[in-house]
Amino acid sequence: MPTMNEVKSRPVAALAAYYPLEIGGERVDALSGKTFPVINPATGQTLCEIAEGDAADIEAAVAAAEKAAPAWGGMSPLQRAEILNRAAAILAERMPSFVEIEVAQTGRPIREMKAQLARMPEWYSYFGAVARTYESSVPPFGGSYVNYTRRKPIGVVGLVTPWNHPLLILTKKVAPALAAGNTVVVKPSEIAPITPLMLADVLRDAGLPDGAYNVVPGFGVAAGASLCDHPRIGKLDLTGGTETGRKVAAMAGEKLIPFSGELGGKASVVVFDDVPEQEAVAAALFASFVAAGQTCVQGARLLVQRNIYDKVVELLVKRTDALRVGDPTDPRTQMGPLVSARQLAIVEKYVEIGRQEGATVAAGGERLTDGAFANGFFHAPTVFTDVTNDMRIAQEEIFGPVVCVMPFEGEDEAVTLANGTPFGLAASVWSRNVARAHRVAERIDAGIVWINDHHRIDPSSPWGGFKDSGIGKENGIVCYEGYTKLQSVVVNLSDETFDWFADDETEKRYS
What is the residue type of 343?
Q
Check 173, 187, 266, 473 and give the catalytic one: 173
Query: Please, are residues 7 and 373 in contact by the beta-carbon 8 Å criterion?
Result: yes
Q: State the catalytic residue, choosing from 102, 112, 187, 296.
A: 296
Q: Give dist(CA 447, CA 475) in Å, integer.
A: 13
Q: Which of 190, 262, 277, 397 is catalytic?
A: 262
- Are 148 and 135 in contact by the 8 Å Cβ rule? The answer is no
Name the residue among 415, 412, 392, 414 with its Cα closest to residue 404. 392
404 catalytic per annotation: no
Residues near 254 by beta carbon (within 8 Å), at least 6 away in sequence: none
Has 314 been annotated as catalytic?
no
Torsion sign, CA atoms 171, 172, 178, 183 = negative
Secondary structure in 3-state letters for 221-249: HHHHHHHHCCCCCCEEEEECCHHHHHHHH
Residue closest to 401 by CA, chosen among 415, 380, 385, 416: 380
- Tell me if residue 68 falls in helix, strand or coil: helix
**What are the Cα distances from residue 385, in Å, to 354, 358, 467, 497?**
10, 9, 27, 78
Phi, psi at residue 317, to the nearest 5°?
-65, -45
Q: Identify whether 173 is a catalytic site residue.
A: yes
Task: Answer yes or no: 296 catalytic.
Answer: yes
Candidates 100, 102, 397, 474; catalytic one: 474
Pairing of strands 402-408, 145-153: unpaired
| Rounded Cα distance, 511 and 509, in Å | 6
DSSP state of 374: G
Which phi and psi (to 5°) does residue 209 adopt?
Answer: -60, 145
- Strand ranges (DSSP E) for 113-246? 145-153, 156-160, 183-187, 213-215, 235-239
- What's CA 253's distance to the chain center, in Å? 22
Q: What is the distance between the alpha carbons of residues 258 and 479, in angstroms, rounded to a whole number?
A: 12
Residue 213 makes CB contacts below 8 A (sequence gap 6+) with 22, 174, 178, 183, 184, 186, 199, 200, 203, 204
What value does the CA radius of gyration of the chain take, rounded to a whole number of Å?
25
Active site positions, annotated: 173, 262, 296, 474
